[in-house]
Chain A
Amino acid sequence: MRTLVAIPAFNEEASIGQVLAELAGHHPLDDVIVVDDGSGDRTSQIARAAGVRVLRHAINLGVGGAMGTAFKYAARNGYDALVQLDADGQHRPEFLERMFEGIGNADIVIGSRYASGEGYQSTAARRFVQRVIASVVSAYARTKLTDATSGFRIAGPRAVALFAEHYPVEWLGDTVESIVLAARQGLTITEIAVVMNERAGGLPSQSIFRAALYTGRILFVLILASFRSVPPRIAELRRRAKREAAAR
């Protein structure tokens, strides 16, 4: 199975070099791409100097847009699986091997920092919000998920094909909506316990106002997901698959 590791990065010059150096011990850098989402700093140069390919957005599209680019690139270049890893040093590549064991039985594997309770757990208020979100997402996914907003994931072949056509970009599309979308398309999701670091560079958004806005948006997206139709590009993908099956 050919696997691509995709690292969405926006102004991560402080941590990207370290993240790539660590990743090199667990995955060949030939199969790593950094999606530079319109950074104004040296993110791209550092990544290229480390020997990885860089897909550079001319403008900032957000994490969802960056992952959309990564999935399109993966599908175009014949990769079967795609790993999403953050550029801020939160995700430890040593857990990739364990996460890959899950890809045999599921289309998407999520690395969960809450499943084991070890390592960086974030604040109590934030954990409570995460628990509420996780229980709603779990209901959609018909499996127990404890860390629905984790950006440490592996997408298997079926998920790569799906997300190359359409990756949710609005609001927190890159986290919860992508899971709900995949689940509604019949893909299976599972989680593996991992340990995460506190982010190396950058500040987490922690004000009460921002936290409330974040929670409100996620709940809105989750309610919306219950009655939304299939995104047009995915509907087209399904029609094509059906036609091909009929022709055979």
Chain B
Amino acid sequence: MSPQILSIVLSIVFLVIVLLLLRSYVLPEKYAVIWLAAAVVSIVLSAIPGILDWLAALVGIQQPINLLFLAGFFVVFMLLMQVSLELARTRDELRRFVQQQAIETEEARRHGSE
């Protein structure tokens, strides 16, 4: 099996995993879009390596694989940043919920005893 076929097969497996997660309501649409896009891009790039060569020449990178690494790194970075931001927001929401729940439970308790 040539490396190209292997790369296409792996990309398709990845796409199928994302679709399965999406189908079973495990992965929400919001997060699925970026992974779907990544899967499609990797399939296209594996199937037509010429695109990568052409792009690398365009931006002046001699080894096309370096462009792939660079772009991949960037995408992963952005994804991690998104996860951090989501985590921060979720923590904030959780804290506000716990605070409000504490206050309302005490208020209900007092009304109950009056």
Partners in one complex: yes
List the B side residues contacting A35 at CB < 8 Å.
102
> Quick one: closest A residue to B102, CB to CB?
A55
Q: Contact at A65–B95, with CB atoms within 8 Å?
A: yes
Count B interface residues, CB 8 Å. 11
Alpha-carbon distance between A161 and B29 when the two chains are bound, in angstroms: 39
Q: Contact at A56–B105, with CB atoms within 8 Å?
A: yes
Count A interface residues, CB 8 Å. 17
Closest Cβ of chain A to B43, distance in Å, is 41
Q: CB of B101 within 8 A of chain A?
A: yes
List the B side residues contacting A57 at CB < 8 Å.
98-99, 102
Q: Contact at B98–A58, with CB atoms within 8 Å?
A: yes
> Quick one: closest A residue to B100, CB to CB?
A72
Closest Cβ of chain B to A78, distance in Å, is 13
Q: CB of A68 within 8 A of chain B?
A: yes
Q: CB of A169 within 8 A of chain B?
A: yes
List the B side residues contacting A169 at CB < 8 Å.
95
Q: Contact at B95–A54, with CB atoms within 8 Å?
A: no
Q: CB of B106 within 8 A of chain A?
A: yes
**Of the candidates A55, A59, A61, which one forms a contact with B103 in the assembled complex, judged by CB atoms under 8 Å apart?**
A55
Closest Cβ of chain B to A74, distance in Å, is 10
A-B interface, 9 closest residue pairs, ranked by CB to CB distance from nearest: A55-B102, A69-B99, A57-B98, A73-B103, A55-B106, A57-B102, A65-B95, A69-B102, A58-B98
Q: A76-B103, A169-B95 are in contact. List 14 more A-B contacts (CB 8 A).
A: A53-B106, A55-B103, A55-B105, A55-B106, A56-B105, A57-B98, A57-B99, A58-B101, A59-B98, A61-B98, A65-B98, A69-B103, A73-B103, A73-B106
Interface residues of A (CB under 8 A from B): 33, 35, 53-59, 61, 65, 68-69, 72-73, 76, 169
